[in-house]
Amino acid sequence: MTSIQEISRENISILAHLATQLWTDTHFDEMSEHFEEVLLAEHPTAFLLLQDQKPIGFIELSVRQDYVEGAEDMPVAYVEGIYVDNVFRKKGLAIQLIHKAEQWARSQGYTQLCSDSELANSGSIIFHQKAGFEEVGRIVCFVKNLN
């Protein structure tokens, strides 16, 4: 049985562990501190996905006030990250997280849910399309070091 829990003090360490699976260049302590901040923030939130009481995924949401590519109505709810353990993928569970995000966004008065993906992450792009997101642009980012 699948269930979804909103972020709480009790599940921060679980969220932090799962986040290190998504963002592999981060550390557990860093993500624990991050989710502590999310818990205390005014608008951002996260939801933990459980399958038979076992944590298998999460979605982190924020509110972006400034510019978001393609957004028509600012501020917007924004998917900062979504993750489902490999064993449980392609079973519609991530879509359940998106639906929860949509409910949360509507309850906060937002009219759009936005997200992004790396250009090379074809799996994420396909997922977003299946979840009902519309692609609004592609960018390549540049940095020039001046030292």
pLDDT digits (tens, 9 = 90+) for 71-126: 998 999 999 999 999 999 999 999 999 999 999 999 999 999 999 999 999 999 99
Residue 10 lies in a domain: yes
Number of domains in the chain: 1
Does residue 25 lie in a domain region? yes
Residue 107 lies inside a defined structural domain of this protein: yes
Question: Where do we find the tokens 């957004």?
Answer: 71
The overall average pLDDT reported for the chain is 95
Within-domain flag for 139 = no
CATH of residue 20's domain is 3.40.630.30
Q: Is residue 94 part of a domain?
A: yes
At 42 the pLDDT is 85
Q: What is the reported pTM?
A: 0.93
Q: Which helix (H) or strand (E) holds 103?
A: helix 93-107
Coil, strand or helix at 115: coil
| Confidence at 139, pLDDT banded by 50, 70, 90 | confident
Query: Is residue 27, in this structure, part of any structural domain at all?
Result: yes
Q: What is the pLDDT of residues 45-71, one digit of tens each?
A: 999 999 999 999 999 999 999 989 999
Name the nearest CA neighbour of 115 among 98, 96, 93: 98
- In a domain? residue 125: yes
Spatial strand order of the sheet with 2-6 comes to 2-6, 45-51, 54-64, 76-84, 113-114
DSSP 39-82: HHSSS-EEEEEEETTEEEEEEEEEEE-S--TT-SSSSEEEEEEE
Instruction: For residues 141-147, give the mean pLDDT.
Output: 90
Q: Name the β-bridge partners of 57.
A: 49, 84
Which residue segment(s) compose the domain that 104 sits in?
2-130
Work out the pLDDT band at 43, boundaries 50, 70, 90.
Answer: confident
| Cβ count near 107 (within 10 Å) | 8
In a domain, 144, yes or no: no
Q: Are 38 and 44 in contact (CB under 8 A)?
A: yes
Query: Do residues 60 and 46 make contact, with C-beta atoms less than 8 angstroms apart?
Result: yes
